[in-house]
Structure 1
Amino acid sequence: MPRTACRTVRANQGGGLRRYTSVVLDRRASFWVSAGVVAHTLWTSAAPAMTYRLYASEWHLTSTTTAEIFAIYPIVVVGVLVLFGGLSDQIGRRATMLLGLGASFLGALILALAPDVSWLFVARAFMGIGVGLTAGPSTAAVVEFNEGGTPRRASVVATAAQAAGFAAALIVGGALTQYAPWPLHLVFWLLAFLIAALFAVTWFLPRRAQNGTTGGWTPRLPSAPRRARKAFVIAAFAMTTAYTHGVMILSLGGQIAHDLVRSPNTLINGSILAVFAVMSGVVSLLARSLPTRTAMIAGAAASGVGMTLLASATVFHAMALFLSASAMTGAGYSLLFLSALDVISSAAPVEQRGQTLSALYLLGYLAVGMLAPILGRVATVHGLGVAVYLGTGLIAALSFTTLGLALALGLHRVADDPRRGSPTGTPNLPAPND
């Protein structure tokens, strides 16, 4: 259970010392609460995955419409990252995460009450705002509250947290959709309750002033520091490849399982798709000692193989191939995401880490927002099978491009730079940030 402490913190302001007394979570509890916010980003993203087919059946929606419902989410995330990507570097991680959790709560509540398709678009837009505001800051907070002092531990926990949120959304969503009353609503009432609880504990995170921040917030496009741009390019390809898996799993996965693999049970289909998340979490734990370059190469290769298996599963209507594809792509996602975070955690100065991570997420969500409606339109016009072949081909191409970059450019250790601060990015004397 998260622990709290009544702390008195000294801060140097205008040459004098002021004392602040507040009830805050300790560093370990703050680390795990921040990881919970990371988990919420994938649970929120995946929450409607098992209800898309029911929406289509109940409200007579085409594949294009369901893909657009999915796509509005990453499109809004991109917009938020463009406008507010550096917000947490200026007003603090805690304040930014609270704003994001509030938006996510509204999105879940609207889905729980939705009477028609127009409400789904509004709800997913609020969820996009929530995830756009919390994705970068929560990951940065996990790095900064990391007690181990090694960026790899923070990257592993962030990856495992995403996997846990993803798996919970698919398994819980599948079970409630298949067996519980109100299949289009109950799962979102549960999500709204969990987000409200997470908001409550996030409120007690320390108010930390970030290095190098002065003044209030001004809009700025998130970007990578000049010295870290080579590393950022490699990390961006890895992150983009990882995130495009979400289109196949979240947007089309339930329909693929039901229509092409011919599995009628929503819980079984959700559980098979959740293998993606379970493998992601397991691999992230097993890969703790794996060199970053090796992890990226292995992740890209696993991703390419997974896409081949997914295409084969639709051709042969084979559940075993579908299960293997879910497991292989989960391993690929985990290694690609983990290695991308490793690269950025080592390369980005602490005072620019929030906006650098936001820039990384921006590219990933932009790719998802572009790919989802394209595949939805192809599925409507030419059939779901053609959309699957196109999607798996594109993601396989991204995988092998990432593999080539990792082999050709390498992932060199970033030179020591006093502006980067400690590996965890935690200032020696944190000051409250009003």
Structure 2
Amino acid sequence: MRILYLHQHFSTREGATGTRSLAMAEALAARGHAVTLACGQYAGAVSGLSGGFRRGRRKGMVGAVRVVEFAIPCGNAQGFAARGAAFLRYAVRAGGLALAGHWDLIIASSTPLTVALPALAARGLRGLPFLFEIRDPWPELPRAMGVGSPLLWQGLDLLADAACRRAAAVIALSEGMAATAVAHGAEPSRVAVVPNGCDLGLFGPGVAPWRPEGLAPETVLAVYAGAHGPANGLDQLLAAAALLQARGAPVTLLLVGEGGDKPRLTARAAAMGLTALRFLDPLPKPRLAGLLAGAQIGVQCLAPVPEFAEWTAPNKLMDYLAAGLPVVANLGGRAARLLEDDPLGRCGIATPPGDTPALAGALAALAADPGRRAALGAAARAQAEQRWDRRVLAERFCVVVEQSQGGAAGRALAPAGVRERSPRAA
């Protein structure tokens, strides 16, 4: 098949952001498909292309995948209006590519939800089938956070309805996201769950560890690696660091990444006199792998929004598991089940959302118990290998893509979905 894969935030492994679309595109290419991946310039991403842009785009081969990169900067540090404009600009450029090329199938990977616009245009004007991938449910999450307006949410609802109803197949990253697709009109038989997976070759045993300068050897390093935006609720980590510092716990929290909230957070940490918390700029994935190898705890943090429990699937959590780190998280739902209730063994601690003393207490407890950290970390790596191997999940992704090529609405996928509890099961 000739596949056009639309993902505005694509990055290779040299970037500091998620690489799921790279792994899926590579798996499709390995099965003999001709894959063209169209992206923008996402902050922290590295497309793998070099040289200048001509008429606002550049293109070339990145391994076995043809990449088309549009000169459309976008990132979490931008304001709401600037990001919205970048989303629409990408939709227009990607729409032109979708309508001009000779494709057998289009994959539209959200977020942003506007990536569905070029896929819908190609479906309506050229009859091309498309697969819609939901990485974050929109407008459910913006609405839950109070971001935007009722009029905007109504428009996004209509777009999500059209994408879910007209797609030949829908892939969701969690059962909760799959439920939102069905609520938007997707036939349940055409919805598959293919979760985020672990890059077992990049993270894990054998990676040379490193730690920031100035840390005492006995200091327990707890790393948060991800966006610094309102959805992440990182003020909770500052408050937890203050509690740990007051107790004299030998823990340093390291926040790695960028986002609109980072300048405020760094200023607030300085004003609080926090010596138990540091910041780092985003790191390329190989460099991050070394940092996690030198750390003792992975930290998952989100704002205390109830809807986050089932509607999020953070890349960072998979990286921590692959690195063999025990994880402390401040949310319930899917992440809590993964950490505390998995049949393969407990691999972390889930504290109640918004409960900063509990979060600090969990970090202090692990810092004081090396044996428990080692046991949880071993269980984390075992779960990564046996349940979240990205190579296995990429093959499942490919099967859904190949089954959706016919584009017949209402045709059931076989199998009809991938359950998160047993991604290795047939």
What TM-score do the two structures reach when normalised by structure 1? 0.29
Q: Which has the higher strand share?
A: 2
* Greater relative CO, 1 or 2 (CA 8 Å, sep 6+): 1
Q: Which has the higher helix share?
A: 1
What TM-score do the two structures reach when normalised by structure 2? 0.30
